[in-house]
Structure 1
Amino acid sequence: MTSAQLFDQIRQKKSYLCIGLDTDIQKLPRHLLELEDPVFEFNRQIIEATADLCVAYKPNIAFYEALGPKGWESLEKTVAILPKNCFSIADAKRGDIGNTSELYARAFFDRMQFDSVTVAPYMGEDSVKPFLGHKGKWVILLALTSNMGSRDFQLLNTENSEMLFETVLRTSSQWGDASQMMYVVGATQTAYINKVRQIVPDHFLLVPGVGAQGGSLPEISKAGFNKQCGLLVNSSRQIIYASSGEDFAEKAREAALAVQQEMAQLLDEYLPE
């Protein structure tokens, strides 16, 4: 999916919502646990209930890896049913030397057919370039995350009198352009979003931290929008665990609809057609 196609979906659906499929088997509704593949069935119902309200889905790979081969099977089945008009993100946070990164890229791009994968840039250009070598696929680099520990390194001042996350953005933006790279910027980091946009004005930002982590959708939208919206705002727990009963998919839809309606208002306000 190109950036133009993604923006077209944002316009059509009046949404820039990404739903995180952080599917924890310990949190699934009890009635699903009797099934052969409760993780996949949970995902299937969530997807069917929300596909018209979001533009992206983001399975967090750790929740599937933790289940061993069965988890990988559930993940592959989930990716296979994702709507073609929704951007798919493998939230894997990989980052290793070149030959290993190439194998990670093959796994998520060639085998599983994800549109994108999250990558940690700490090991530098040669750990990221293999992902960028796959035509039509996206790399989403961790830049400024929403967790408390982000300040341990990301906000440190460098010898260039800028914070480390700024150096990451400035340097990595030379490795690929806005047609193949996005950045993770947490919704709890609104104080720095203007700095982010000064360095990467045209890139899409994947924004976790709205909802359960307390990030403000209006604040991040006002500060982070560019001419193509430029945001994919992720919500996971607030939506997929809106209910633990047999009505979980219905309640997930209600939660997603509430976010989508707020997004529609913000798009009309800041990006009128």
Structure 2
Amino acid sequence: MNREQLFEQIKKKRSFLCVGLDSDILKIPAHLKETSDPIFAFNKEIIDATQDLCVAYKPNLAFYESLGVTGWESLEKTVHYIRQKYPEQFIIADAKRGDIGNTSNLYARAFFDRMDFDAVTVAPYMGEDSVKPFMTYLDKWVILLALTSNKGAADFQFQKNEATGDLLYESVLRTSQRWGNTDNMMYVVGATKAEKLEEIRELVPDHFLLVPGVGAQGGSLEEVAKYGMNDQCGLLVNSSRAIIYASAEPDFAEKAREAAMDVQVDMEELLLEAELL
């Protein structure tokens, strides 16, 4: 999926919501644990309940890897289900990979060739050659970690390079633009750092931003849109726990839909205010 196609979906759905499939075997409704594949059963119902309200799904791989082979099987079935039934959805592997070139090449092969994700999150710490292998795939995306929403982001991301005056996350944004372009590279910018979005937009005015931290982590959707939206929206705002765990009872899918709809309604208003619809 290219940038124009993604923007078309945003306009069609009147939404820039990404639903995070952080599906924890310890948190899913008890009745699903009697099924042959509880995680897939959970994901399937969440997807069916929310697919018309969002433009993307983002499985966090840790929740699947923690279950070993069965978790990987659940993940593959989930991606295949979305591809077959809702092919317009943008699917992100929240994998946070980043290794030397030949290893990154195999990660790219795994996520793009074997599993058919549209995008993968990548840590840029090891530099250009660790990122480039992901960019050799047509209409696939690298999503670089730039400014994350966690408390520990302050440990490194705000350290200043005395020679240039840039903070580390600013160096990531400046340098990485030589590696890719607005059609194959996005950036992770946490919603809890919304006050930095205006400055970030000066550095990367046209790139899409994947913004976690709205919902359970307390980020403000209105502030994210105010400071982060561009003329093609340029935002995928992720919400995970606030949607998929809206209920732990048999009505979990219905409650997930209600939570997603609340976000979509707010997003529609923000898109209208920005005159993008």
TM-score grouping bracket, smaller chain normalisation: over 0.9
CA deviation profile, 1:105-132 (whole Å, cap 9, x unmatched): 0000000000000000000000000001
Q: Number of residues paired by the alignment? A: 273
1:221 corresponding residue in structure 2: 225
1:10 corresponding residue in structure 2: 10
Structure 1 runs of 4+ with >4 Å offset: none
* Paired AA for residue 12 in structure 1: K
Identity level (%): 66
Pairing partner for 2:134 from 131, 136, 156 = 131
CA deviation profile, 1:186-214 (whole Å, cap 9, x unmatched): 00111211111111100000000000000
CA separation in 2, counterparts of 1:208 and 1:15?
15
* Paired AA for residue 242 in structure 2: Q
Which TM-score applies when normalising by structure 1?
Answer: 0.99
Q: Secondary structure at the match of 1:26?
A: coil
1:207 aligned to 2:211? yes
Pairing partner for 1:119 from 84, 107, 122 = 122
What RMSD in Å do the two structures reach over aligned CA positions? Answer: 0.6
* Paired AA for residue 141 in structure 1: L
Equivalent residues in 2 for 1:235-254, closer than 5 Å: 235-254=239-258
CA separation in 2, counterparts of 1:49 and 1:190?
29
CA separation in 2, counterparts of 1:42 and 1:64?
13
Gaps of 5+ in 2: none
CA separation in 2, counterparts of 1:226 and 1:99?
35
Pairing partner for 2:183 from 179, 182, 186 = 179
CA separation in 1, counterparts of 2:93 and 2:52?
20
1:86 corresponding residue in structure 2: 89
Q: Do the aligned residues in 1 keep the contact of 2:231 with 2:276 (CA within 8 Å)?
A: no
CA deviation profile, 1:125-183 (whole Å, cap 9, x unmatched): 00000001112210000000000000111111112001110000000011000000000
Gaps of 5+ in 1: none
Q: Secondary structure at the match of 1:183?
A: strand
CA separation in 2, counterparts of 1:197 and 1:173?
13
CA deviation profile, 1:238-273 (whole Å, cap 9, x unmatched): 000000000000000000000000000000001344
2:19 corresponding residue in structure 1: 19
Q: Do the aligned residues in 2 keep the contact of 1:166 with 1:195 (CA within 8 Å)?
A: no
Pairing partner for 1:106 from 105, 109, 129 = 109
2:37 corresponding residue in structure 1: 37
Q: Do the aligned residues in 1 keep the contact of 2:11 with 2:276 (CA within 8 Å)?
A: no
CA separation in 2, counterparts of 1:173 and 1:149?
25
Q: Do the aligned residues in 1 keep the contact of 2:233 with 2:276 (CA within 8 Å)?
A: no
Q: Do the aligned residues in 2 keep the contact of 1:153 with 1:164 (CA within 8 Å)?
A: yes
Which TM-score applies when normalising by structure 2?
Answer: 0.98
CA separation in 2, counterparts of 1:155 and 1:132?
27
Q: Do the aligned residues in 1 keep the contact of 2:232 with 2:276 (CA within 8 Å)?
A: no
Pairing partner for 1:265 from 265, 269, 275 = 269
1:170 corresponding residue in structure 2: 174
Q: Per the alignment, do residues 97 and 272 of structure 1 end up closer, same or farther by CA in structure 2, a change over 3 Å counting? A: closer
